[in-house]
Amino acid sequence: MSRPEPGDGSLRPAPITIITGPRDSGKTKTAASMAARFMAEGRTLGGVIANAELRDGVKVSYSLFDLATRASMTYARRRIGPVPAGALAYEFLDKGLEFGCAAIRRAIAENVNAVFVDEIGPLEMNGLGLWEPVREARSAHAGLLVLTVRPDLLSFLLVKLAVRPEEARIIRLPDDPARGQGRP
């Protein structure tokens, strides 16, 4: 039996796994481990994993790693100096976000077994960043959709994607008490 094709009317929304936990709890590591296991099992996958780039133990930027092409590009840099009220601590780079959107859309077009998107944050909750291809993956992809998100955004994400909690496999990671206090 062939897999349904996007847009042929036979697709239900993609099954979804959401990895959630506080900052530095291991969401990215969990998603990357899951992706590695899927690859070892011979499954096809695509999408992006966000890797922190550290300088003297401090996160200074994030790059997106394309699981299919293995290419990487910086998409966010920590703002230098005081952060204006209401602004995010990181500035997002258009070229990096375009790279991430293209990786997700390519995975959808290739009808891979699983699309990974690490991490859904405030930018996406405002309909920006990687949001549009995530929404497209939810509605036009037959395979598994794996997302990471912090707990404070989980309920909003479920509503925005029209997912009932019982429809998703939610992996909740505990806060790591060993991590340094005050780390960004």
Q: Report pLDDT digits (tens) over 79-135.
A: 888 888 877 788 999 999 999 999 999 999 999 999 999 999 999 999 999 999 999
- Max Cα distance, the chain (Å): 57
66 near 30, Cβ under 8 Å?
Answer: no
* pLDDT 10s digits, 153-177: 999 999 999 998 888 999 999 986 5
Q: What is the pTM of this model?
A: 0.86
The verdict on whether omega for the bond into residue 91 sits within 30 degrees of 0, i.e. cis, is no
CATH of domain 16-50+94-172: 3.40.50.300
- In the sheet with 45-55, reading across from the earlier edge strand, the strands are 90-92, 72-78, 58-66, 45-55, 114-120, 144-149, 16-20, 168-172
Of 7-16, 27-36, 75-84, 88-97, which range is least confident? 7-16
Rg of the chain on CA atoms, in Å: 16
92 near 123, Cβ under 8 Å?
Answer: yes
